[in-house]
Chains A and B, each alone.
Chain A
Amino acid sequence: MASTSAPAPITPHGRAKLIALGRATKPIREASGMARFMFWTGVGITLFFVALAIFAPLLSRYNFTQYASGGHRFPQLGHPSSAHWMGTTVQSSDVMSRVVYGAQTELEVVAIALAMSLSVGVPLGLISGYFGGILDRALVLLMDALFAFPYLLIAIVIAFVLATSSIGGGILTAAIAITAAYVPLYFRVVRNHVISVREEPYVDAARALGARPRTVIRKYVFFNVVQNVPPIATLNAADAILLLASLGFLGYGIQPSQGAEWGYDVSRAVSDAASGIWWTGLFPGLAIVLLVTGLTLLGEGLNETLNPVLRQRRFGRFEFDEREPREEALLDQ
């Protein structure tokens, strides 16, 4: 257990928290085979992009809007070279800087969007599932209606409406657009799970103990429902990257002045590709593929380690005792 490796002076409460943490991470530590490989590869790739995002100012020599340095304008559509490792675009900006700063934009938007959709979708799902009744019906109807639209369409509409308002076409707009697309998913997953957990005897027991609905939901329902959320959230993050890139590609995402965004860069590079200029599209495209792959591996790995249906336990090789068959034969007589 985790408590054994903990520093010496800890309160009972602190110890309980440590034990809880050790218990929560146990399946991950015990994961094996494919699940373990997927999980840790995903962690590696994702951490690489997180590092890119955090250290972007140190890692790239130029800013993402920069088109000149030391009085010299960068070449237009310049080949990858020692000065510009990934070449330059038609507007003379450095492709590598845009890719590196792009990681910052993507992760910021996805983090904000996930935080917002979790903090809306999960509580709504908990309340709707636990109390049921008219509220539940109304919310399910609304969420199903939202669900029926393609994600991208909702995101475009929201992005379009917000971009024309005072908020403008920045990171927050893109995050809100993505949030609107994902809230129904969290709502559905959490609500349906709550409905099954609600019938568990320990929930009845909590009611019989005199716990208020708020306490029952927080202490008895939430922790037994929330374990589904990390894999979904991670897989969703991968999806959200694609959604943000699609918005950018269509011109509804982050405005070029607000931040570097891979989808936008790819859309600008479409015409270049025809004339044999591969570097403007390849590197942002590769970044999208890599980050999405990383997050998907992380999510699938989490899913396989946390989901008891998919989880495979490690079993030692079972050795038959060589004498056994003979003894069995004797018993048969």
Chain B
Amino acid sequence: MRPEAVAPQPEQHADEEPLVSIRNLETYYSIRGNFADRLVGREAGVVRAVDGVSLDIRRGEVLGLVGESGSGKTTLGRTLLGLVQATGGSVEFEGREITGLPERKFRELRRRIQVVFQDPHASLNPAMTIAQAVGHPLQIHGVEHDRTQLRARVADVLERVGLAPAEAYLDKYPSDLSGGQKQRAVIARALILNPVLLVADEPVSMLDMSVRAKILELMVALKQDFELTYLYITHDLATARFFCDRIAIMYLGRIVEIGPAEAIYADPKHPYTQALLRAIPEPDPTRAVPRDLPRGEVPDAASPPLGCPFHPRCPRAFEPCGWESRDLRDLLEFRWARLAGEPRVEEEQAVVGDLDVLDKPAPEVRLPAARGRKPEEVVALLERIRAEDPQEPFWKGVARLEASGSHVALDFHLPQEPRLEPVGDVSVSCHLYDSAASG
């Protein structure tokens, strides 16, 4: 299945200057709050869609950016394309800083960086024929104005992306084409300017399975033809394996693991990467694989967990991973939801006071007992829960649990932010591989 064309050869490029160099990139979106906030123009907070990402894209490679929805991978691509403004950090393209570049100056760069979006049906203007749509970039950049020449160039690029004979497609409207044909036209439109970097944002995820492989094969072939570098954004590790030289795994706006595709598939280091790889469906249904997928959902990026953003879902989390107040609330609520209907749930809920004090992220908690109850009872309850499931990683994070005055004092080990550090062939951002934290 895998053609030789994509055999990774990163060593060859290692000493070259990278095509794109991203350092500590941050892209935040402000959240509009409630009605009153809007009236006075107050912002309710920010979503850290991209939160301190550093990576290089080398000339001629395919870098896969993989993550669940909400991980910030699309925002990273859009920042690179200048469609959203970076909040901080730097992006250098061919040695030139492009963050904060005014649109007027960015425009000339756009000939070199092009994009293919996820939805081929919505990426083409329904009011333009294929000839107009694919040829428009040449007119925008003043490369070609002569109509006959323009048409010839469009026909040429259409044939190169497999829409042959081009004459059959030139005067069609997007609504006359199938999804795969539309995506080919979108790729043609991106390639007609001869870009060096193509940002492909989930280019095949909306296509039929049968068409996916064909489009990916086309992209592999075009990489050779046009000497392209790809940033391939996807949630699908299966296609990334087929297509990418290197892979960066993103979670909540950060890169948790980055390295050569082979190394990542052969020996995933980060617990999140391991979970993602286990989530790939097995072709053989008789082989029942224990999946233990990450529990819960991706946390709210507007107030990400302290420490490592993955720790609340991580089966291997331990002391420094960033345990905090909200994890206690999740623990209790998850337990009560699991035991729903049993009488002890109500008893337990009657002992513990208002859980809302836990919503403020903090590594130490002062949890009040319910009205008329003693904090010792709460401590006893928590100890009972701990005894029922001592393997639960949450308890590793607890440094102190005792009644103090009218409250329960619950202190966690201080959270430490994991940093991306080289481990073997890859770089991982996890305390498990971080000698300072685990020692």
Contacts and interface: CB of A to CB of B under 8 A. Distances in A.
A16 B117 CA distance: 27
Nearest to A211: B140
B291 interface: no
Given A209-B136, A210-B141, A202 B147 contact: no
B122 to A, nearest CB: 4
A15 B171 contact: yes
Interface in A235-286: none
Contact of A224 (B117, B118, B127): B127
B129 A210 contact: no
A23 B124 contact: no
A206 interface: yes
B34 interface: no
Nearest to A213: B103
Contacts of A323: none
A158 B144 CA distance: 50
Contacts of A13: 147
Contacts of A215: 140
Contacts of B171: 3, 15-16, 19
Nearest to A226: B127
Nearest to B121: A201
Interface string B109-121: 0110111011100
Size category of the A interface is 20 to 34
Contacts of B303: none
Contacts of B115: 205, 208
Contact of A202 (B111, B123, B137): B123
Contact of B83 (A12, A204, A211): A204
Interface string A1-41: 00100000001110110011001000000000000000000
A147 B295 CA distance: 53
Size category of the B interface is 35 or more
Contacts of A212: 107, 140
B204 interface: no
A73 interface: no
A207 interface: yes
A12 B108 CA distance: 29
A173 B113 CA distance: 54
A202 B115 CA distance: 11
Contacts of A224: 125-127
A324 B151 CA distance: 52
Contacts, number: 76
Contacts of A23: 173
B340 interface: no
B431 interface: no
Contact of B125 (A11, A19, A206): A206
A223 B125 CA distance: 9
B81 A208 contact: yes
Nearest to B119: A201
B123 A219 contact: no
Contacts of B147: 11-13
A210 B106 CA distance: 8
Contacts of A20: 129
A144 interface: no
B125 A220 contact: yes
Nearest to B186: A205
Nearest to A18: B171
B128 interface: yes
Interface string B326-348: 00000000000000000000000
Contacts of B110: 208-210
A204 to B, nearest CB: 6
Contacts of A220: 125, 127
B314 interface: no
A205 to B, nearest CB: 5
A145 to B, nearest CB: 18
B151 A12 contact: yes
Given A208-B81, A209-B137, A210-B111, A202 B129 contact: no
Contacts of A219: 125, 128, 136
A170 B189 CA distance: 53
B148 interface: yes
A160 B28 CA distance: 54
B131 interface: yes
A19 B127 CA distance: 11
Contact of B140 (A11, A201, A202, A209): A209
23 contacts: A3-B171, A11-B147, A12-B148, A12-B151, A16-B129, A19-B171, A200-B122, A202-B123, A202-B124, A205-B117, A205-B124, A207-B83, A208-B113, A209-B140, A209-B193, A210-B107, A210-B110, A210-B111, A210-B137, A219-B125, A219-B136, A220-B127, A223-B128
Interface of B: 81-83, 107-108, 110-111, 113-115, 117-119, 122-129, 131-132, 136-137, 140-141, 147-148, 151, 170-171, 173, 186, 189, 193
Interface of A: 3, 11-13, 15-16, 19-20, 23, 200-202, 204-212, 215, 219-220, 223-224
